[in-house]
Structure 1
């Protein structure tokens, strides 16, 4: 994937890009970066021009001067799209990044053709109460400094994800990438995003959408209330649901391949209707 950085209203945003065709903006999850979401699903570049930013305060993008709320992050991506002269696009969000994707979809309306929400945290009612309480307590200022310090320990990090989040088996490459990303993330930005994302959300943006939408959930998810989400979208013909029955909130190579195949089918559905942009235009983004 090619890398480029842009200055959007004084905010530096680092992005990865690959492929060609209709732009597909990918919003990574909590304590993550463009490499994790974009790298794992790089095969989507067969159908789309992938644009994968490091959200402000994550990876190679410095934190914003303002608070890192879901709306604030969505606004930063809206400015990024304007800077890149992108009008119509597809959109995908992973985990807490799904909250940003939902907010951006509402802001952009019909400009978003296809939307993918992967293990989405888009409403408090869809987040298990135990996890909500963990977030509320652990993000209190006196405790958060301890959380940040402990997050620098690979052993503590692995134990928390395995026994509290219960993310399931995760390959060593993903585990190392996750650990590196959480060490790079700005602690204040991470706290602000997590608190706002878990307490708020934009479920209405999903339920009121008319365009093609794919929701991917994990049957063993210890964070998302999968049964409640299934019930809410059951009568929405524009929303397709894929339940990965072998996985928790984390992922391994096998889960990535299963989910990638579903996403490839989803984005390939209208590929024949698209007019691919030229290679020169695709590389304009990295100039």
Structure 2
């Protein structure tokens, strides 16, 4: 399978799998730190970044097939892997299938919503993508403003004003220009339910990381993921939203390196090095939030006038 990818560093190989609407650049906050210890391979999934879409439908199953074919072609079967969001569900699916991946770290995986959580996920993410698409002409200005990031990114980040401006701009561009986004979003929300792996069936470590402030894959879904994958270990990012690699990059690197080392570790050692009380990380005051909303409203008004 012809997938675009980037390769950095040396050592044992480590695969990075981004989420829906992302690309290999989604890992820029932690790529160099991981490449200091591993040969890192970050892929663009089909229909994302520089990789072409599949000839047929885009579902978790077909993406998993394409990723397996890519790893086989590259001689990388058995590689350790990290996935984020939809990519986190993909690495869980490949771990369940067996023979494809080694140790796995799954960061805030999708696919474990039930009841009202399904339309909440689908419509909130669809609305965000449509807004981001409409705002593309002014997105560079918005993303290089703390107020703009605060207004547009709270669904994905616990500290949106602190997200790197260049990363935010690139992610919003990718989100708006992924041709298979709508198809995959529908498949994620309304397609096949994620199957689990029986206890004792996974030969390598599986760690599921979850942000306590995730507003996409709600924290209450974590017990369902553990029930489906009873061999997994759950790690909570206390001060993170949906993307811990955005909100807590150093903590995310420590978790990944500890997990793929196949050595025992304590959660407090992963979290303690740069943990500060959440109250010092809370959203800024109403004035900043209101300013962000005004920025978005003003941008929409200008776009309407231009049209």
TM over 0.5: yes
Q: Confirm or deny: 8 A CA contact 2:196 2:228 kept in the other structure.
A: no
| Number of residue-to-residue matches in the alignment | 252
Displacement over 6 Å in runs of 4+: 234-237
Q: Which structure has the bigger radius of gyration?
A: 2
| Aligned 1:60-139 pairs, distance under 5 A | 60-107=50-97, 109-125=98-114, 128-129=117-118, 131-134=120-123
- The structure-2 alpha-carbon separation of the partners of 1:151 and 1:198, relative to structure 1 and needing over 3 Å to count, comes to farther
- 1:73-107 C-alpha deviation (Å, 9 max, x unpaired): 11111111111122321122101111222222233
**Matched-pair contact (CA < 8 Å) for 2:241–2:247:** no
Deviation for aligned residue 1:160: 6.8
Cα pair 2:18 2:83 within 8 Å, conserved:
yes
Q: Which has the higher contact order (CA 8 A, sep 6+)?
A: 1
Cα distance in 1 for residues equivalent to 2:206 and 2:115: 18
Paired residues of 1:102 and 1:206 also in contact (CA < 8 A): no
Query: 1:145-201, CA deviations, whole angstroms, 9 ceiling, x for partnerless residues?
Result: x66742535259957743555653223233122123224422xx1111111123334
Q: Deviations over 1:122-149 (max 9, x none)?
A: 333399345335169759xxxx9x6674
- Where do 5+ consecutive residues of structure 1 fail to align? 1-7, 271-287
**Distance 1:235-1:193 versus aligned 2 partners, 3 A rule:** closer
Which residue of structure 2 lines up, in the alignment, with residue 172 of structure 1? Answer: 165
| Structure 2 spans left out of the alignment, 5+ residues | 264-307
- One of 46, 51, 55 as aligned partner of 2:45: 55
Displacement after TM superposition at 1:33 (Å):
0.8
**d(CA) in 1 for partners of 2:197 and 2:224?**
16
Residue pair 2:214, 2:242 contacting (<8 A) in 1 also? yes
> TM-score of the superposition, structure 2-length normalised?
0.69
Partner of 2:260: 267
Q: Residues 113 and 221 of structure 2 are in contact (CA less than 8 Å); yes or no, is this contact kept in structure 1?
A: no
Shift in alpha-carbon separation, 1:247–1:63, aligned structure 2, 3 A? same
Larger strand proportion, structure 1 or 2? 1
RMSD in angstroms over aligned alpha carbons? 3.3
Task: Tell me, in whole angstroms, the C-alpha distance in 2 between the residues paired with 1:110 and 1:78.
Answer: 10
Q: Which range is displaced more, 150-159 or 198-207?
A: 150-159
Contact 2:85/2:110 (<8 A) preserved: yes
**2:95 counterpart SS class:** helix
Aligned residue number for residue 238 of structure 2: 245
Cross-structure match for 1:162: 153
Whole-Å Cα distance in 2 between the matches of residues 34 and 178 of structure 1? 10
Q: 1:245, CA displacement in angstroms?
A: 1.3
SS at match of 2:4: strand
Alpha-carbon spacing, 1:182–1:137, altered in 2? closer, same or farther (3 Å) = closer
Q: Answer with 196-205 or 66-75: which moved more.
A: 196-205
Within the candidate set 18, 41, 44, 2:31 is matched to 41
